[in-house]
Structure 1
Amino acid sequence: MVFRGPRGKENTLQSDYRRFLNSTCWDVALSEDLEAGKNYARHLRTMRFPRPSYLSPAVVSAEESQLLLFFNESRSLMLGPTDEEVLAHFIMRIAFSDAFDTTNPVLQAVFALASLQLHGSLKSFRYKRLVMSSVKEPTDWIDEKTLLQNLTSMMLLYHHELSLESNSKGSWVTFLCAVKRIINTSPGTQKLVRQENSVFLDWIFYHEALAEFTVRHWAVPYEGCGYVPIPRSPNADNEIGSKKRANIGCTTDVLQLTVYACTQAVVAKSSAKNYANIATEQAEMLERQICRAVGDYGPIHDHSAAPADRNAMVLDLHRLACLIYVNRAVRRVAGTEFHHRRLVREGILLLTRMATCQNAWPLFIIACEAVNEDQRLALLDVFEKSLQERRRRSSHIHFIQHIAQAVWNQHDLNPENPVDYLTILDAVIGGLPFMPPFA
């Protein structure tokens, strides 16, 4: 409908509407702040832009085209909880580095992952087998392209195993260990340390670091895959303590300190040593940076800051969980200290504000600290809502809830004679028949 009034009104009205063509909410919010003379700092580095869709080449069948379409549209179901958009774009670029090479293991791994979600493990096994046969021999790993394809395809098969609904859940460790072995022994690894590969390197480090938690509490001592996770991204040193981290949903300093704490959970298991005697200078520096990022009053009580988006809340959730775990595994606190309870309270409040959470490790660490009915009911509500999220990976939430409740049971059954935190964690996690993933 066109408004017809005095001469010139129609053109003016159409001009007003035309201003909003191709405008996003980011453009409008920035415009309002600039017009009002406000500080535009909150808009820095926040612009999102569409990434090109990858069209399947002519050699891909109709079935495989459907799998590619599903992968692009449902990446959060397969690659979460990391920032799946940036990661999926990187993966597709590697998959189509040679558009007519259908033996590319990355492309076959994408098919395997999508086929598992659409058709089940039986049909996806065909693509999984093709990946395994396409991965080049170790003699070729010095070639950068081959190395990148091998690592990416193994990481995708790792995600494939994480998604399996069967008793073979623990098979994910086989593929993650293959990735660790390749990246730690290949002479070509250093060639990958470039800006354009940052999301890929961060992706590996995130899963390496959180797998360390499983390793330390499910199988101690652990043999066969003992490479210590290290950050390889060229951004790692510059972004420690940074408020922004879009690639993996977790800052590098949190992952580094978590790896350190996991190591100390084993080293210091038999004696409650003073934290100052066993902490390295780097670990203390990392902890101070994380504490500064959390703030004196917690992340959700900073009313002066702009409203936090979900990515920012996920970053803070990892920070809180890391500090809680360091207190427990390294400092050996009893859990009743005011500073510790404040971290727990902030973590539970943050989870209730998020409503759902697919990040297994921080969810588990914070859930284990719930001591009263109100806290536990709040967390059970988060678990329930998370399980109902069909567009995101949630199959792992059920067993995370189960083992968190098993930890609660141990606390409730020994109220007069509390058992050590690490002893309970080792016993409960070790009680599972498979190596549980916490990523």
Structure 2
Amino acid sequence: MRFWSDIHHFPSIPIAEVIISQSVSVVWLLAGRAKVYGFPVASKRKCGGYGLRLSWPVPTDRKRALVGAGPRGDRRGVTSHRDIRCINAFSRDVHLYYNATLFKEGLYKSGILDVLIPPCPPETLPWTPCKVDAPNKDLLNYFEMVVSNTLPMLDTDRSRIRRLLLQMAVSDDSPSSKAVLLSILALSSLHRDGQQEHAAQLKLSAIQALMVSPEKHLSPEAGIKHIAAGILLASFEMLRKDSGWVGHVCGAKGVITAVQGQRYVPGSDMSVILGWIYYYDVMARFSIRHWRVNMLQEASCDNKWPPDLCEMQFAFARVSFAKQIPDISNHCHQVIQLLYEVCNTLLYPWGPQYHDDEYRKSLEELELRLTKRVSLTDEATSQGVIKETSAVLELFRLSTLVYLERASRNFSGQSTKLDQWVEDSFSILTNLNACQHPFPLFILGCEARTDSRRIAILDLIAKTEEHLHVRSVQEVKELIQSMWVQEDLDVNGEIGFIRKLNLVLSTNGVVPGFV
């Protein structure tokens, strides 16, 4: 469509007249007069008012578009639009990579903090009034039917955990039992109704119940209930995407001294809870190991951020690193025990021990134990559970091997054994219907260097999200995609694996939960 803009060159053409293209007919009504090209004058059409109107030609008009001939021959190799996956690279990702290539000595003084969010609690959605005041019985039923299926756990019989928690919650009127009950209700309310006042009040009541009995005077039974309540509250904060989940894990670890004098047979009810908190602790160690550790230390010294918030999160990191849990590792699977040892290896070649022969020998022994001495049949669980979780345990073993190779040697290249571990991992991943375990999904997802493997990871995440009664894996999906962007930007391999991992995890607003 073309309008005449200079009427001085065309005095015989009124302002209201337009020229009609082959594809559009235009009617311009002005001052009660209509001049239309392409329509009969005596059409007796009803005036539609003043202004500009567009009308498209009929579908049979072949002049409206030119259609080229499609490609001939075999089209089996043509990629369908349904098979295309898009990974977005934002300016933040490019900025991170640019800073990482320029500044090799630390993060705080390099300007990367201009990109990263300060380690403060994130802004959460506003608490809204609960529309339905559901009775506690309904929340208990919702926990039994739905929420218990989303609780993070590894090799434990989920139905057994469900039964234990409900039994603890209604066993008596002690503060420990009330803490478990209120934690269950808070988690169920948050999961079902979102962030609203009722869930917040239930969580606060659960914490108050935990504070009634001092830790030093707890009985072993009450101590186990305190640990269970701490795990539930940690799950509550992870669902809210809040870093407070680390604090609840640390608090549950502090209660373990009350139960250390008791010897629990592996596989017993008490042993299941102890193995559960050990799993949470190891996963928290991995997260804290790479999430803003150096920045927290430097900011705490320079007072660049609010001291209460910074010192609080730095205390969480220090406690999670330094406080060892004795005598309960045998209550968890051997793979998690070995991952605990891997998380205690050195990351940076600063100290003399990093290049010590004894230390390098210990790394080789640790790798050997992961490759040859890990049994995927655990006496602490039933044979039915072992059959269901054997694939997940194998993924944990392989991802721990990959992480050990990458982290302990800061190795970013490829090797024969690394390629074999990744190949074995993807042969398992491609046959899974769902995977709600963030740690192996993230570590192995970072190893997806080809489009086919990246599509396999995205498809597995999509299948996992289709299940209504599993935990969300959206956070780990975003972290994996961010690692892919950094890998693609680092064409020349200038940035080590640890630096990429630290950068990606540190951009997360809260401590990532890989439980």
Same fold (TM over 0.5): yes
CA drift of 1:99 comes to: 6.3
Q: Find the aligned partners of 1:115 and 1:379 in 2 and give their Cα distance.
A: 32
Contact 2:153 2:279 (C-alpha < 8 Å) held by counterparts: no
Name the counterpart of 1:301. none
- TM-score, scaled to structure 1: 0.71
Note if contact 1:294-1:320 (Cα within 8 Å) is conserved in structure 2: no
Larger radius of gyration: 2
Structure 2 CA distance for partners of 1:280 and 1:99, relative to 1, 3 Å: farther
Residue 48 (structure 1) aligns with: none
Return the offset for 1:233. Answer: 3.8
CA shift digits 1:253-307 (9 cap, x unpaired): x2222222223243546799459542575x6555333312679xx9xxxxxxxxx
**Structure 1 stretches of 4+ moved >6 Å:** 99-103, 269-272
CA shift at 1:426, angstroms?
0.7
Equivalent of 2:259 in 189, 203, 213: 189
| Pair 1:97-2:171 in alignment | yes
Mean CA deviation greater in 74-83 or 203-212: 74-83
> Which of 332, 335, 338 is the matching residue for 1:257?
338
Cα contact 1:76–1:392 (8 A) shared by 2: no
Alignment of 1:202-281 (within 5 A): 202-221=275-294, 222-224=314-316, 225=319, 226-230=321-325, 232-233=327-328, 235-236=330-331, 251-252=333-334, 254-266=335-347, 268=349, 273=354, 277-279=358-360, 281=362
Q: Distance in 1 between matches of 2:454 and 2:179?
A: 44
Q: Percent identity at matched positions?
A: 26
Q: 1:266 to 1:102 in 2, by over 3 A?
A: closer
Tell me what 2:372 maps to: 292
Q: Indicate conservation of the 8 Å contact 2:438/2:476, yes or no.
A: yes
- How many residue pairs get aligned? The number is 347
Determine if contact 2:367/2:401 at 8 Å carries over to the other structure: yes
Query: Contact 2:347 / 2:409 at 8 angstroms: preserved in 1?
Result: no
| Structure-2 residue corresponding to 1:63 | 135
**If each structure's helix is expressed as a fraction of its own residues, which one has the higher value?**
1
Corresponding residue of 1:118? 192
Cα distance, 1:71 vs. partner?
1.3
Q: Write out aligned runs for 1:27-426 (5 A).
A: 63-82=135-154, 83=156, 84-98=158-172, 104-122=178-196, 123-135=198-210, 136-138=212-214, 141-164=217-240, 168-183=241-256, 186=257, 188-195=258-265, 196=268, 197-221=270-294, 222-224=314-316, 225=319, 226-230=321-325, 232-233=327-328, 235-236=330-331, 251-252=333-334, 254-266=335-347, 268=349, 273=354, 277-279=358-360, 281=362, 285-292=365-372, 309-394=387-472, 397-426=473-502
Distance 2:329 2:279 in 1: 15
Matched, 1:433 2:505: no
Deviation at 1:202, TM superposition (A): 0.6
Q: Which runs of no fewer than 5 residues in structure 1 stay unpaired?
A: 1-60, 237-247, 299-307
Contact kept, 8 Å, 1:411 with 1:419, in 2: the verdict is: no
Q: For residue 245 of structure 1, what is the aligned residue in structure 2? A: none
Distance 1:106 1:78 in 2: 17
Distance 1:139-1:422 versus aligned 2 partners, 3 A rule: closer
Q: Aligned partner of 2:469: which letter?
A: R
Give the letter aligned to residue 353 of structure 1.
N
Structure 2 residue runs of 5 or longer lacking an equivalent are: 1-132, 295-313, 377-385
Q: AA paired with 1:258?
A: L
SS at 1:358 equivalent: coil
Contact 1:357 1:386 in 2 (8 A): yes
Q: Secondary structure at the match of 1:125?
A: helix
**CA deviation map 1:21-50 (0-9, x unaligned):** xxxxxxxxxxxxxxxxxxxxxxxxxxxxxx
Relative to structure 1, is the Cα distance of residues 402 and 234 closer, same or farther in structure 2, using a 3 angstrom cutoff?
Answer: closer
Structure 1 residue identity aligned to 2:495 = V
Partner of 1:4: none
